[in-house]
Structure 1
């Protein structure tokens, strides 16, 4: 562990074959889930350290990055000969809570189908919220940042570089976010298949029963009874922004959707 004396300001040693951010300028993160993660990071981190972290990520100073349940580890080359060791921990989702999540996902055919096809449903964050299980870190207290550099900043530029590259990794493979939260892809998909097999039979599956016209012309339930007094499904104020493809317009270098999101969230419920 390096002694913590003064932060380094010298130019970093170039890395051959390092992980380089795809984004060359502006914001990092293309999908809604990576942008949500970056929004949390930029809400509490020092702006100057974030700027240097983005520069490190774009120069390819991160040597490697590994995502495991509850921890991301990486090596980042600074100005000193030995690379710095970085680790980013996150609060664990317990095994019982994951079973509840898997059962809920398996019970919703649209979610299950998309996940089994390798896609991340846009509404999955709402499902986690309904279960009172946060999918994303909500503040600095939900992230445990560790680096053996001499900078006391939290995050330092080395950790910031890793976090930005982690967001881009989420762009390529959203299942990494769930793995970081404790459920690797194959284990999650196995749980969904198992939950689907244990689910109640499909009411529209008539099996081998012969089809008859018995009762076909019988009057059904009144329309009022069918409609009932079902409660309205809560709709997030920025649903429209999340469903639309982001336009190629930026406001002060920020995507238009990101600039409009606070206004939508401030709108009262209809």
Structure 2
């Protein structure tokens, strides 16, 4: 049974009840995302300290966990009743980086679907990584960690224990990964929704629109009822442009979805020469 969320979210009071790691043996992290997050720590940290950090999180515990935009703080108890205050500061994305995140996800139906269902696929992380944006830190030193214990090594056992706690938080709520870079779940979804609305209703440039009208013979206005019947005013009937073929898909503007990395309109465009050829063969038979 999934346990109740036990960490503190923005706007709530710190949790003072001592909690321990959910995993009491073996590796930390159930999901691929949490496992990858743990791997960043364990590729850098000293093995002896990491072993002690797991023991600390499992048998000592932590309290006062808080997660805000760009940071996590908590108290880590390894022995006795006093907790060491630990802080983790994550690199907050710039406005330009957030624009890239929103553009990348909203422009791909698969990534958008994965995000909306809460099943964060590896594709989201990989696509953003190719653009130089790391949802999962690319290196332990990308995160600034603080602890006031006497150990001069970073990570010390308290910092490593906090990292393990955060990995289990990501198991339960992967949206925290966005919050650690500066934006809440609601803010991300709102921006993605706004961007998708914008690209689903493209507004052509006035010059581009006029060019389409000139190339296809589409008048500025016409009676739509006469479009297929070719009845009505002669000025309102569409006439073909001699020796020029126009792809109907290009009149609709870009599609709001992608297929195989290409805009869907571009994919459909490739079908029209085949359709045109087939239609011509049928007409020749008639």
Normalised by the shorter chain, which TM-score bucket?
Answer: 0.5 to 0.7
Relative to structure 1, the CA distance from residue 213 to residue 98 in structure 2 (aligned partners, 3 Å threshold; closer, same or farther) is farther
In the other structure, the counterpart of 2:261 is: none
Aligned residues: 199
Length-normalised TM-score, structure 2: 0.63
Q: Confirm whether residue 57 of structure 1 aligns to residue 109 of structure 2.
A: no
Alpha-carbon contact 1:53-1:161 (below 8 Å) kept? yes
Structure 1: distance between partners of 2:81 and 2:112? 48
1:35 deviates by 0.8
In the other structure, the counterpart of 2:36 is: 36
Alpha-carbon contact 2:59-2:78 (below 8 Å) kept? no
Length-normalised TM-score, structure 1: 0.67
Alpha-carbon contact 2:104-2:128 (below 8 Å) kept? no
Relative to structure 1, the CA distance from residue 212 to residue 17 in structure 2 (aligned partners, 3 Å threshold; closer, same or farther) is farther
1:220 deviates by 4.3
Q: Deviations over 1:32-84 (max 9, x none)?
A: 11111111100110111111110111125211322222211111124465321
Structure 2: distance between partners of 1:120 and 1:143? 22
In the other structure, the counterpart of 1:20 is: 20
Query: Which residues of 2 match residues 1-270 of structure 1 at below 5 A?
Result: 17-79=17-79, 81-201=81-201, 220-222=272-274
Structure 1: distance between partners of 2:83 and 2:103? 43
Relative to structure 1, the CA distance from residue 26 to residue 78 in structure 2 (aligned partners, 3 Å threshold; closer, same or farther) is closer
Say which is worse superposed, 95-104 or 25-34, in terms of deviation.
95-104
1:201 deviates by 4.1
Structure 1: distance between partners of 2:32 and 2:79? 34
Backbone CA RMSD of aligned residues: 2.7
Relative to structure 1, the CA distance from residue 138 to residue 168 in structure 2 (aligned partners, 3 Å threshold; closer, same or farther) is same
After superposing on structure 2, the runs of 4+ consecutive aligned residues of structure 1 that deviate more than 6 Å are 209-214
Q: Deviations over 1:162-218 (max 9, x none)?
A: 10010011011111111112221111011111111111349xxxxxx999899xxxx
1:139 deviates by 2.0
Larger Rg: 2
1:136 deviates by 1.7
